[in-house]
Amino acid sequence: MTAKNIVLIGFMGSGKSTIGRHLAMRLERSFVDTDDLVETVSGKKVVQIFEEDGEAVFRALEKQVVREISKQGGRVVACGGGVVLDPENVAGLKENGVLVYLKASKETLVKRLKRGIDRRPLLRGVDAEKKVDELLDKRVATYESVADVVVETDALSPMDAVGVVAGIIEERPDD
Ligand code: S3P
């Protein structure tokens, strides 16, 4: 039986890609990132898609790559922060995966996000702190409710978080 995917979800800046990459190496699984796949299928950067085509086009591409990812297990998947806001994405990912929410406080997220605002189309050109606040208000309940596992990352280094997630997965032999 192929293992389920370990699907990392959570807000921008919660460490999904960094933790995911290291987790995949540790567990000897392959790693996929929904944003990277969107860029591959579209031939454009995420920022460029938002600017030239709009968010709706990005969400449609994202949905297409999530559908593909959901067909196959055994990988570590880092999801863009908006993926699980679509119930069909959640249903697909859950068929073949354990959803791990990397939870972080607003303060931690803002601190981490300040370093890469230019790569985050939803935060460019606006008051980033206010926008993070607004989006968190809208999203946190969804992240919590769709998650199979919640890992609080505020006090953890990325490598510590890798260890915590790996430990939890190892304790779930059916996944
Ligand atoms: C988004 C998060 C981004 C990316 C896009 C939209 C969101 O991914 O998919 O900019 O809606 O939260 P990260 O969470 O990897 O930054």
How buried is 144 (Cβ within 10 angstroms: 0-12 exposed, 13-18 middle, 19+ buried)? exposed
How many Å lie between the centroid of ligand 1 and the Cα of residue 173?
31
Residues 50, 77: Cα–Cα separation, whole Å: 22
Q: 150 vs 3, 77, 144, 153, CA distance in Å?
A: 19, 16, 7, 9
At 116 the pLDDT is: 82
With a 6 Å cutoff on the Cβ, whether 77 touches ligand 1 is no
At 118 the pLDDT is: 84
Which of 51, 122, 133, 139 has the most ligand 1 atoms within 8 A of CB, as the residue to mutate?
A: 122
- Reference 27, options 130, 166, 123; nearest CA is 166
At 1 the pLDDT is: 64
At 117 the pLDDT is: 86
Q: What is the pTM of this model?
A: 0.97
In a structure prediction context, what are the per-residue pLDDT tens digits for the chain, which is 175 residues long? 679 999 999 999 999 999 999 999 999 999 999 999 999 999 999 999 999 999 999 999 999 999 999 999 999 999 999 999 999 999 999 999 999 999 999 999 999 998 888 889 999 989 999 999 999 999 999 999 999 999 999 999 999 999 999 999 988 877 7
Cα 24-26-28 angle, rounded to 5 deg:
60
At 115 the pLDDT is: 83
At 114 the pLDDT is: 86
Ligand 1 atom with the shortest distance to the CA of 13: 16
